[in-house]
Amino acid sequence: MKDKEVAEIIQEETRRQNQGIELIASENYPSVDVREAQGSILTAKYAEGYPGRRYYGGCVYIDEIENLAIERAKSLFHVAFANVQPHSGSQANFAAYHALLKKGAKILSLDLNDGGHLTHGSPVSFSSDWYQFVHYGLDETSHLDYEGIEKKLYEENPDLFLAGYSAYPYAIDFRRMREILDRYQEKTGKRCYFLVDMAHIAGIVAAGLCQNPCDYADVVTSTTHKTLRGPRGGILLTNQEELSKKINKSVFPYTQGGPLEHIIAAKAVAFQEDLQPSFVTYMKKVLENTKACNDALFSFGAKVSSTDNHLFLVNVKESYGLTGREAENLLSLADITVNKNMIHGDKEKPKDTSGLRIGFAAATSRGCTKEDAIAIASLIDSILKGGEKVAEEKKEEVHHLTSSWKRIEELRYLED
C-alpha cells in the first residue's frame, strides 16, 4: 500500500489482534478468502435493484454473485427467501420493521439492559422514535420468562413480537414462542408478527446445534460477521413469498441505495465456508471452549451465568468488587479484550455496568483449545483479583499463549 500512514495503522492493528486474546462475543476473524472478496473490484459497481432487475447496466457478473450469495444463504438456513443486501444488522432490523409494520406500531421486545439490542427499542436508537416498544423480562434465574411473555402479549396486544439477543447466554425456545403466539392470535384474532434477530447465534443455527428460528418466525434478521465469520454486514430471511417482496422493497429503495456487492461476494464465500462439515466441528469447539472457561471461573468462585452458547456473563461487581468498565480496562492492560455489559437487574449505569460479556467465537477460530480456555479463565481471575500490577505481569503469558495460535492474516476455512 502506497499510503504509509494508513498502512502503518493497519499493521499495528494486525499486531494487536495477533498478540491479544479476543473475547468480545460479537467478534470473529473472517478468512483470507472472505477478505479477498471484500477487497475486490466489485466495490466499483453500482447495482441498485435486485438480480435481473437493476437500475444500472453492466450487472451480469454482479447478478451472478448476488444470486450465489442468496442461494447459499437459503441452503445454510433451510429457508425459502433471502435478502443479502443489508449493510448491517441494524439496517436489517430497520428494514424488517418497515416491511411488517406501520409507523407507531407496538413491538414487544427484551430490554437492552436484560440482553436486548439498541435497535430493539433503546431510547437512543431510531427504533424507539418510529415504533412504540414495550418489554418482557427475565425470571429470577435470568432466563427468559415464557409465561411472562404470554401474559404480556394479552396485556399489551403488540403488532410484533421480537426475540433474539446480544447478551443472552442460554438456549432460546423459538418453538415455544411460536406456540405462545399461535395461541394468542387464535384467542384474540389479532395479527402479531414474530421477528427473530439471530445475529449472535447465527453460526450455531447454521451448524444445526440449536433450534432454527427460520422454522418458527415470520422474518429472521442477522449480521454476517459474528459467529458466521463473514464480512461485516446483514441479511434478512423468510419462508413467506409475500413478506419477501415487502422485505426487498424495504431494503431497496426504502432504507438503502446501492448494495455493497464486494461485501455480498464476501458473504457468499463465508456461507460456503459455513456449509462445510468443518464449520460444525468449529462451532462445537466454540461451545466447548465457552463452557470450559465458564466452568473454570465458576470453580474459582466468580459469580457467572452458565452458558448454552458462545458467550456468558460475569458479575464482576459481586465477584471482584469492580465495575464492568474497571474490569474491562484491567484486562486490556494484559491484552485480553472483553466488553463491559449490563446484567439482569444491574444497578450501575450503562457506562460502568456490573458485568462483563465473554465469548469464544474469535479465539476458537485461531485454534484456542479447551486447555487454553481454562488457562484464560485463570488469567482473568488472577488479573481481576490482583489489579494493574498483575495485569502487566500477565501480558507476557497472554502473548506466549497467542503465539501458539494461528495468525489472523493466514486463516483459511475452506479445504483445497
Catalytic residues, by residue number, are 46, 48, 197, 223, 226, 232
Rounded CA-CA distance 383/242 in Å is 54
Pairing of strands 219-223, 234-238: antiparallel
Candidate residues 17, 18, 26, 221; the one interacting with ligand DSN per rule CB under 6 A: 26
321, exposed or middle or buried, with CB in 10 Å at 0-12, 13-18, 19+? exposed
Rounded CA-CA distance 282/227 in Å is 10
Binding to ligand DSN, residues 43-72 (CB under 6 A): none
For the bound state, the minimum distance from the C-beta of residue 161 to ligand DSN, rounded and expressed in Å, comes to 20
According to the binding rule CB under 6 A, does residue 166 interact with ligand DSN? yes
- How big is the CA angle at 299 (ends 293 and 305), to the nearest 5 degrees? 60
The residue (of 199 and 343) whose beta carbon lies closer to ligand DSN is 199
For the bound state, the minimum distance from the C-beta of residue 197 to ligand DSN, rounded and expressed in Å, comes to 9
Amino acid in the structure at residue 352: D
Rounded CA-CA distance 42/116 in Å is 35
The residue (of 221 and 244) whose beta carbon lies closer to ligand DSN is 221
According to the binding rule CB under 6 A, does residue 89 interact with ligand DSN? yes
For the bound state, the minimum distance from the C-beta of residue 224 to ligand DSN, rounded and expressed in Å, comes to 12
Residue showing cell 395461541 = 183
The residue (of 54 and 117) whose beta carbon lies closer to ligand DSN is 117
Give me the helices (H) in 324-368, please: 324-333, 361-365
- How big is the CA angle at 39 (ends 34 and 42), to the nearest 5 degrees? 105
Binding to ligand DSN, residues 193-252 (CB under 6 A): 199
Task: Record the cell numbers describing residue 80, joined without a space.
Answer: 425459502
The residue (of 62 and 336) whose beta carbon lies closer to ligand DSN is 336
Site string for ligand DSN, 117-156 (x = CB under 6 A): x---------------------------------------
Helices 89-100 and 241-249: crossing angle in degrees, nearest 10, is: 120
**Which residues have a Cβ under 8 Å from the Cβ of 44 and sit 6 or more positions away?**
none
The residue (of 68 and 316) whose beta carbon lies closer to ligand DSN is 316
**Residue 204 · residue 182 · CB < 8 Å:** no
Cis peptide before 253 (omega within 30 of 0): yes
According to the binding rule CB under 6 A, does residue 325 interact with ligand DSN? no
For the bound state, the minimum distance from the C-beta of residue 165 to ligand DSN, rounded and expressed in Å, comes to 9
Per DSSP, the three-state class of 177 is helix
For the bound state, the minimum distance from the C-beta of residue 59 to ligand DSN, rounded and expressed in Å, comes to 30
For the bound state, the minimum distance from the C-beta of residue 65 to ligand DSN, rounded and expressed in Å, comes to 25
The residue (of 26 and 83) whose beta carbon lies closer to ligand DSN is 26
For the bound state, the minimum distance from the C-beta of residue 27 to ligand DSN, rounded and expressed in Å, comes to 8
The closest residue (CB) to ligand DSN is 26
Task: Record the cell numbers describing residue 18, joined without a space.
Answer: 495477533
Binding to ligand DSN, residues 248-307 (CB under 6 A): none
The DSSP letter of residue 232 is S
The residue (of 166 and 323) whose beta carbon lies closer to ligand DSN is 166
**Which residues have a Cβ under 8 Å from the Cβ of 325 and sit 6 or more positions away?**
340, 351, 352, 353
Note the residues at the interface with ligand DSN (CB under 6 A).
26, 89, 117, 166, 199
